[in-house]
Amino acid sequence: MCELAQRQVLRMAKVLIVEDAPFIREMIRDILESHDHDIVGEAANGLEAIEKYKALKPDVVLMDILMPGMDGLSAIMKIIELDPKAKIIVVSALVKEALRKEAMRAGAVDFVAKPFQVERLLEAVRAATTA
Domains of the chain, first to last: 11-130 (3.40.50.2300)
**Which pLDDT value is given to residue 62?**
98
**Which pLDDT value is given to residue 2?**
43
For every residue of the chain, DSSP letters joined together read: --HHHHHHHH---EEEEE-S-HHHHHHHHHHHHHTT-EEEEEESSHHHHHHHHHHH--SEEEE-S--SSS-HHHHHHHHHHH-TT--EEEEES---HHHHHHHHHHT-SEEEESSPPHHHHHHHHHHHHH-
pLDDT digits (tens, 9 = 90+) for 60-98: 999 999 999 999 999 999 999 999 999 999 999 987 888
pLDDT digits (tens, 9 = 90+) for 95-126: 788 888 999 999 999 999 999 999 999 999 99
**Which pLDDT value is given to residue 9?**
41
pLDDT digits (tens, 9 = 90+) for 7-59: 444 447 999 999 999 999 999 999 999 999 999 999 999 999 999 999 999 99
User: Burial, 115: exposed, middle or buried (Cβ in 10 Å; 0-12, 13-18, 19+)?
Assistant: exposed
Residue 127 pLDDT exceeds 70:
yes
**Which pLDDT value is given to residue 7?**
42
**Which pLDDT value is given to residue 69?**
92
